[in-house]
Amino acid sequence: MIITLEPDASSETQRNVEAFASRFPGVKLRLHTFEGANHRVVEIHLIGTPQVMQTIPDREVATIPGVRGVVRVSTKYRLLGRHDSKMTGYRFDYNGVSFDEKQVHIFSGLCAVDTPQHVEETMRALQDNGIVTTRMGAYKPRTSPYEFQGLGKDCLPWVFELAGKYGVKVIAMEVTDARHVGEIERALESTGNPTGVMLQVGTRNAQNFELLRALGQQKRFPVLFKRGMGITLEESLNACEYVASEGNSNIVFCLRGVKTQLGEPHRNLVDFAHVPVVRRLTRLPVCVDPSHSVGRMDAAPDGLPDIFHVIGQGVIAGASMVLVDVHPDPKTALCDGPQALGLDKLPFLVKYVTTIRKAYESLTTVSS
């Protein structure tokens, strides 16, 4: 059961709900606080066996002064689920950037960090195009152990410093092991926190439950969760719930295509038709990753590469974030060069995303 308090509700309301819940044996309380730009909203989640939960009279809870709403939830992804169309979407602010349904952020950057020169050229180009969010792969989960595995923790200090130098506020960075979080934290401290990091769970780790729990146990960094490429959407949503169940609901859910030969000639079968589905089933902002979905730079007869066409599909469906591989010299990239856009494509990328987002806002009830 989720009990939502009125915005900025008093601590007395919270105590009254807690006292009410204490009448039901074995029911545990978990508090979720959402700090918005202007208000603080508290949700109190009551967790117990179905037998006990059905004895709780929700009408009585709703009459406690300061309670705004009460929703009974199913056992599946109970924290992330929308459960009721009137429930508002999750939003969070991180390092000066807001993540919600009201805007779309372009996270364009290197699939794999290679040289300081390439990182600097990329960061400078982002700044020139007014982009403050990027992706930078330091820990790369590769299909073969003989492929480039990423520079790991050694590159973190200079990547973070260069991000700070060019005003980049959030870097999406995949972690494949819980110890990488400590490495990121130490590198940020040692460089004076010049930027922020969003921890990315790659598709290969979508059901690595220990990693998911570890990312949920820390609250410093938000999490970008990529759906599993070979499991159902339902299984991915349940896996993502592991992060929230440990206490961190600052999550963006990312679609990146699913593995099947039926997607050929694309690298994966593009699944951006699931953007509205994830938004309906959960309260999470949704990201699309056109680069890992399409995997190549071929263009349609209209001159637009397939990557742009699927970005359009994601944005017109209400995505809040687009994760795109770019590289100053795609031919020499050590990972996924064939799907990387050159930096010269950034102005068009910004124009394209902005134009389509405006169309989306003009055609739906969402406006910025």
Which residues would be at the binding site for Mn ion (CB under 5 A)? 111, 336
Nearer to Mn ion, 43 or 336 (CB): 336
Q: Does position 137 bind ligand PEP by CB under 6 A?
A: yes
Residues near ligand PEP (CB under 6 A), total: 10
* Partner whose binding site includes residue 266, from ligand PEP, Mn ion, none (CB under 5 to 8 Å by kind): none
Q: What angle do CA 234, 78, 98 make, to 5 degrees?
A: 90
Nearest alpha carbon to residue 255 among 277, 283, 280: 277
Stretch that binds ligand PEP, among 9-17, 76-84, 198-206, 232-240 (CB under 6 A): 198-206
DSSP 8-class letter at 250: -
* Partner whose binding site includes residue 241, from Mn ion, ligand PEP, none (CB under 5 to 8 Å by kind): none
Residue type, 199: L
What radius of gyration, in Å, describes the C-alpha atoms of the chain? 21
Least distance in angstroms from the C-beta of 217 to ligand PEP: 22
Stretch that binds ligand PEP, among 7-15, 191-199, 201-209, 238-246 (CB under 6 A): 201-209
Least distance in angstroms from the C-beta of 111 to Mn ion: 4
Contact track, ligand PEP, 268-297, x by CB under 6 A: ---------------------x--x-----
Nearest alpha carbon to residue 223 among 233, 206, 238: 206
* Partner whose binding site includes residue 202, from Mn ion, ligand PEP, none (CB under 5 to 8 Å by kind): ligand PEP
3-state SS assignment for residue 95: coil
78 contact partners, CB below 8 Å, separation of at least 6: 2, 45, 241
Q: Does position 203 bind ligand PEP by CB under 6 A?
A: yes
Stretch that binds ligand PEP, among 89-97, 197-205, 240-248, 302-310 (CB under 6 A): 197-205
Site for ligand PEP in 58-77 (CB under 6 A): none
Least distance in angstroms from the C-beta of 179 to ligand PEP: 19
Q: Which residue is nearest to ligand PEP (CB)?
A: 202
Contact track, ligand PEP, 152-191, x by CB under 6 A: ----------------------x-----------------
- Structure tokens belonging to residue 256: 């990146």
Do 157 and 149 form a contact (C-beta atoms < 8 A)?
Answer: no
Sole binder of ligand PEP in the list 105, 256, 274, 357 (CB under 6 A) = 256
- Structure tokens belonging to residue 196: 């922020």
Q: Does position 202 bind ligand PEP by CB under 6 A?
A: yes
Q: What angle do CA 272, 276, 279 make, to 5 degrees?
A: 120
Q: Which residues of 8-44 are buried (b: 16+ CB within 10 A; e: fewer)?
A: ebeeebbebbeebbeeeeebeeeebebeeeeeebbbb
* Partner whose binding site includes residue 105, from Mn ion, ligand PEP, none (CB under 5 to 8 Å by kind): none
Q: Does position 226 bind ligand PEP by CB under 6 A?
A: yes
Nearer to ligand PEP, 13 or 339 (CB): 339
- Structure tokens belonging to residue 143: 């299909």
Q: What angle do CA 152, 155, 159 make, to 5 degrees?
A: 125
Round to whole Å and give the CA distance between 107 and 172: 7
Nearer to ligand PEP, 43 or 271 (CB): 271
Least distance in angstroms from the C-beta of 295 to Mn ion: 9
Expressed in percent and rounded to 5, the helix, strand and coil fractions of the chain are: 40, 20, 40
Site for ligand PEP in 14-43 (CB under 6 A): none
Round to whole Å and give the CA distance between 284 and 100: 8
Q: Does position 111 bind ligand PEP by CB under 6 A?
A: yes
Round to whole Å and give the CA distance between 9 and 202: 38
Least distance in angstroms from the C-beta of 277 to ligand PEP: 18
Do 181 and 221 form a contact (C-beta atoms < 8 A)?
Answer: yes
Binding site for ligand PEP (CB under 6 A): 111, 137, 174, 202-204, 226, 256, 289, 292
